Structure 1
Amino acid sequence: MKVSSPQITAFTEVFRQRSVSEAAAALGVTQSAVTQQLAKLEQRIGSALFVRYRSGLQPTKVAQELFALTDRIDVIEKLVAEKISAYSSLSDGHLSIIANAPRPAMPIIARFKVRYPGVKVTFTLLNWTITMQRLEARDVDIAIVTEPNDIAGTFKSELTRTRLVAMLRSEHSLASRKNLTLAELANEVMILPEEGSLTQRELLRASSLVGVRFSNVIQATTYPVMKEAVLHGLGIGIFLEDSVFPSSEIVSKPVVELDTRFATYVVTTKDKTDLRLVRAFIDESLD
């Protein structure tokens, strides 16, 4: 049984969407058509490609390895289509974007949509660890991420440099201070992102140098969740400066020991930089 182009197309889109119905909508076909093509491919391979959970489809190891190849096929097909159709107006198409913080991603997306209103943009906010995983799996067109790992075959362009700051409610007893120290923060409830994140790693590095330990920690998933926790008075959060939209109820304060500047990049795979939509977004990010 030969693997057909429709099977590869259906699999690739289901992998991206994590949903048969959403893949069918993106491809402009019925759900049953996608299901049939996926079943034929699984029969040909002799292994399941997805595990079904209530939250959606999760790819198996086989699917992850296969997608690394089929995504390259998809890129080549898009390049051919662009050459044939002279896709110069950028009046149609789809771009998938992920980021580990709302800013600077959202302002760039806003500018891009003004210039190219016909392009569908899917934007997902993830923690730093999952952002890197999806980028390495080629499971996205563009990632906007702070201090990404070096991944072979990727292109990155620096957007901004920023530092970590403490964010707290404006009525907090420390809110009037010009800056704070880790020793002062050690006595507070701290709101931090997931273990292994850039923020966690830098905070642990700096605190170990001055002999400070944080024993009262609330761990959140993303910066918006952390911001909500601060707004509700749960504690003090450590954020990348300007990573979330400002609020009159929150103030940010420099932390003496956290003076390192970190770079945020727009990142994609090198082959995708030839796609006009991806190139247009990169150009917009550099304006």
Structure 2
Amino acid sequence: MRANHHRFVAFAYVVREGSFSHAANRLGVTQSAVTQHVAKLEEQVGSQLLLRRRDGVELTRTGQELYNLADRLVTLDTAISERLEGFAAMERGHIKVIANAPLPALRAISQFRQIYPEVEIDFALYAWTTAVRLLRERRADVGLITDPPKSDDWERVPIQQVRYVAYLLPSSPLADRRVLTFKDLKNETLILPETGSLTERVVREAQEKHGATFQHTLKMTTFPLMCEAVLQGAGIAIFLANSGLISRGLVEVPVAELSETHETAVVAPKDRSRLRLVKAFIEVASSSDFR
């Protein structure tokens, strides 16, 4: 039996958009139509492809394998449409951007919006592990990722070199130091991103290397929340330098044991990176000034 094109497209959009209703909106059809297409595809495959969760959908193992093919089909469809429509396709469209550090992504999005104001942009901030997984699973068009793993399937353009610093209140006794050490921070409450983040992994590896321990740590989900915690006097945050304007009013001090620089790159699946909107976003991001 031949594969039904519409079923693959509906399935791919449900995964990319995270729900049947959002997929229907993007495709300009009814939710019932999308549901029927996916149900018929599952019947044809003979296996469940999606698990319906309260917060969205989750791929089964079979679903992930099929989605990789379905998404490539959607990408090829888009490439053909762009070729047929010409550059008029650049005036509209939709792009999904993810990142593990806010400032580079938001600056790139801001500059991209100035050039392509009619393009719809979905942006989400994730822990490093989640952001990398979503890119591997082709759940986003493009990502701005710190130290992205090497992959032959990805287009990767470096945009920034940065190191980790401690974020402190100006009134902190440590704020006037030129550099801090783990010994200086031993008895402080350290605020770190959640487990699975690049920061959490880098700090843990540095602790093991230098035999350091910290008495108190707090885990936060996002960098803005970490900065707010510092402003409220909850402790000292460890994160990449110059990560967001939310840190204004805080002092950034380098940490001796975290002296290694880390590369932030704009990353996209290779086939998607050739799509005009994605290519344009990569060009904007790589030409932005992140100093």
Query: Does TM-score exceed 0.5, indicating one fold?
Result: yes
How many residue pairs get aligned? The number is 287
Q: Deviation string for 1:206-260 (max 9, x for gaps)? A: 3333321123111223323322322332211111001122444322111122211
Partner of 2:225: 225
For 1:196 and 1:22, the matched residues in 2 are separated by 28
Secondary structure class of the residue paired with 1:96: strand
CA contact under 8 A between 1:100 and 1:131: conserved in structure 2?
yes
Corresponding letter in the other structure for 1:46: G
Q: Hey, what does 1:120 align to over in structure 2?
A: 120
| Aligned-partner Cα distance in 2 for 1:250–1:164 | 15
What is the match of residue 65 of structure 1?
65
Conservation of the 8 A alpha-carbon contact between 1:112 and 1:281: yes
1:204, CA displacement in angstroms? 2.5
SS at match of 2:36: helix
d(CA) in 1 for partners of 2:38, 2:227: 41
Contact 2:227-2:247 within 8 A present in 1 as well: no
Map Cα deviations across residues 104-153 of structure 1 (whole Å, 9 max, x no partner).
01011001011001111111111100001011111111010000111231
Partner of 2:134: 134
Q: Secondary structure at the match of 1:87?
A: helix
For 2:203 and 2:125, the matched residues in 1 are separated by 22
TM-score (structure 1 length as normaliser): 0.94
Shift of 1:196: 4.3
The match for 1:16 is 16
CA distance in 1, matches of 2:29, 2:142: 26
Partner-residue secondary structure (3-state), 1:108: helix
Contact residue 129 and residue 196 of structure 2 kept, 8 A:
yes
> What is the alpha-carbon distance in structure 2 between the residues aligned to residue 62 and residue 164 of structure 1?
40
3-state DSSP of counterpart to 2:90:
coil
Which residue of structure 1 lines up, in the alignment, with residue 31 of structure 2?
Answer: 31
Structure 2 contact 164–259 (Cα < 8 Å) conserved: yes
SS in 2 for 1:237: strand
Q: Give the superposition deviation at 1:39.
A: 1.1
When you count helix as a share of all residues, which structure comes out higher? 2
Distance 1:226 1:150 in 2: 29
User: After alignment, is 202-211 or 24-33 more displaced?
Assistant: 202-211
Amino acid at match of 1:240: L
Partner SS for 1:171 = coil
Tell me the amino acid that sits aligned with residue 3 of structure 1: A
- Equivalent residue, structure 1, for 2:269: 269
Distance in 2 (CA, whole Å) between partners of 1:282 and 1:51 is 33
**2:8, 2:70 within 8 Å by CA — same for their partners in 1?**
yes
Name which of structure 1's ranges 94-103 and 81-90 shifts more when overlaid on structure 2.
81-90
Write the distance in 2 (CA, Å) between the matches of 1:194 and 1:39.
Answer: 37
TM-score (norm 2): 0.93
CA contact (8 A) 1:100 1:222 kept: no
Structure-2 residue corresponding to 1:41 = 41
Mind listing any 5+ residue stretches in structure 1 that lack a counterpart?
Answer: none
Query: Which stretches in structure 2 are left out of the alignment for 5+ residues?
Result: none
Deviation of residue 89 (structure 1)? Answer: 5.9
Q: CA contact under 8 A between 1:103 and 1:243: conserved in structure 2? A: yes
**Counterpart position of 2:249:** 249
Cα deviation for residue 176 of structure 1 reads 2.8
1:109-188 mapped onto 2 (5 Å cutoff) = 109-188=109-188
Q: Which amino acid aligns with 1:224?
A: P
* Offset, 1:191: 1.2
Mean Cα deviation higher: 142-151 or 209-218: 209-218
What residue identity is the alignment partner of 1:77?
A: D
Deviating more after overlay: 239-248 vs 276-285: 239-248
For 2:46 and 2:215, how far apart are their aligned partners in 1?
50
Moved more, 203-212 or 123-132: 203-212
CA contact (8 A) 2:169 2:249 kept: yes
Query: Residues 79 and 197 of structure 1: is their aligned pair in 2 closer, same or farther, counting only changes over 3 Å?
Result: same
